[in-house]
Every structure is written in C-alpha cells, then in structure tokens.
Structure 1
C-alpha cells in the first residue's frame, strides 16, 4: 500500500472497501506491531462484514494501548443517533469488554495522573515518622547482630584468616573459642594462641 493512500484512509474512513482489505492485510503481516494499520484493518473487516472480524479483534485489542480510541474508530458510525439506536433504527451494539477494558479503573487512574501533573514541580519531601528514635535503635541492634560472630561459625580457617590479616585480637579470640569447642585439640590451639600472642607483641 502506498504511503499517500494510507494517509488518505486514516483521514477518511469511507475509502475503506473490498479493494483496501488485502492491502491492509498485507501491511499488518509485513509490520505486525503497526497499530494504526491494525486498527484500519479491523475497521475494514467490520465495514466489509467479514467473519474474521471477531477473531482479529480479540487478537488486536490487547496490542492497542488506548482501547477507547479503538472503540471510537470501530463503532463511530453506529453512534449517529443519541437515542441509543443507529441510523437504521436498530438497537446499538455494545462493544465487548475486552475492547473497553475496565473503564472505571482507567478514569480514576487518569484523574490521579492529571492531579500529579498539575502539581507544582519541586523536590519530593519524605516525612520521617514520629517514632524515629525507636527505629534507629532497632536498626543499630540489627547491625550489631549482623556484625557479631556466631560461635558455631568460627572455624580454624577463619582464625587463620584473621592471623594473616594481622587481626591478632580476633584471631586470639577465635583460637580460644576453638579450644573450648574441640577439647581434644586443645594442645594444638594452645600453641596457636602462643604464636599469635608473640606476633601481636612484635
């Protein structure tokens, strides 16, 4: 389909007919994420009375970000009379729910967005709770617990790492705990404690 023809169809939907249907089908196949082409293709299917309309509508409706706009394009001709009947005197057809989505939620969401956008720009202020001191105390307790060593986690490897890092006080403490934890190796740990004390004094 030529670009100029496509623009003309967008401006005037009356140009949609049986001849434009295969061209729009080819355009949507070649460009599956081209939403304007899908909407025009749906409009063309509806206008031609094609049985593919419902199946294609179910496929395309989730891809269109503004379902109200899709509804306006597809059902604009049925809203000729304000009495709820179209120009043929037949009762107006309600669109399926999957076209409109949940309009109540969308309108309340739009109001919230409009309110936010109309507010004056500025820095965000975060209010601190009244019981801030209590929170700080809890945070400090959590930090102390995380830093404190659990006796079960102390191993000879950890003690040796402390020794290599020249953290002699921690190494001494670790070796003492290990000698209490493993009394059968107390002589070995006693010699390690002596070595650590000598290194600390140097």
Structure 2
C-alpha cells in the first residue's frame, strides 16, 4: 500500500494493523512529513508498541505532550485492535464520512496545539509504566517537581534490574531499589502497582502495595488481599 493522497491515507487507517511492518513504515514516513498531524502519531505509536520498537518510549513522551486527553491515549495504547478488512462497498460508505472527519481533525489539531502551550507536562522521555502513573499524580500539582525527580529514580531502578545481573557473591554498595521506593508520595499509586502486575513484575508490584500499606494504614486489609493474589499469580507463573 502506497500512501499518496487522502483516499489512500483513510484506507490505511481503516485497515490499520499494529503488527504490520508496512503500516509502521508508512506511518513513520507520514509523521516525518506531517509532524503535527496528531492522529497519525497516535496510530504510529500503537504500531511501535505492538512491534516492540526501541523508540516507543521516546515517541510516547512526545505524543503524550501533544495529546489533549492522556487517559484516552492510554486506553488506546492498551486496547487490542482487530484489523478491518476493506471492501469496495465499505469504502464508498466511509468516503463521505472521511471527508467530513478530516476537517474536524484539522480543527481539533489546532486546538491541541493551543493546549500544548499551556500544558505543564514533563518534557523528558518516560517509560510507559511511569507515564501511566503520571496520569494519576498530575492531579497533585503542588508535588510536580518532586514527582519528576522520582520518575528518574524509578527509571534508574528499572534499568538496573532489567539490564544488569548482580553477582551473588558481591553486595552492591548502593541499593537503587531502596532509593527508588524511599519516597512515599503521590507517585506510588495503585495504578503503578497494577502496571507492574500486568508486566508480570510481581516482586515490584508486591513492594508497591507494601509501601501503599504503610502510607495508607486504613487500607491495609485491601492491600494485603492484593499481595496474596499477586503471590498466587507468581506461583502459577513458576509452576
């Protein structure tokens, strides 16, 4: 499929398959030509995520800054898309709608650009789990600077645990995990714990709920039940 006009662009979007490498390639070229076309960037981001491209985190940061509703973007990235089979009949029906939608998208893009100017979103590249937790911590505007500091701490912790295998006979002088979890503020949310569970990082999820239990003792029983469920999932994974 060669995208050379609006008709072929709409066809690409209607048949969009996030696992299709050709679709990813076309969207990458289009985002370079039209960097402010937000709709293209969202579909491009979805393809990057499904195909596990390394530049996903960087593009996620840029797209989340430009989007007018981060929660909708998060839901779209988390959703499972089923490619639609295009037919001549469907194309005729959708043709009229597509022409109307493009003018609406152009107006929406202008509004998005205006909102970007007034947005206080972080400009640094965030990992997907960090960005998801940011949606909740955004409400605590008075703690924004402290949260950004903790994003970096968690980033360092995840990098150290995923890319480095520690020597059993040598104890690390600096425990990055302890440093990461030492700050009990709005950053440590249930959303982040749930993201860890979804990523099957059960140990981190348990640590998150333990800290939440210390922070909110009135919810201890709730967090304790969550920890039990996570331990069962961990046992099933290892069995």
User: Is TM > 0.5 for Structure 1 vs Structure 2?
Assistant: no
TM-score range, shorter chain: 0.3 to 0.5
**Structure (1 or 2) with the larger CA radius of gyration:** 1
Q: TM-score, normalised by structure 1?
A: 0.38
Higher relative contact order (CA 8 A, sep 6+): 2
Q: Give TM-score scaled by structure 2 length.
A: 0.33
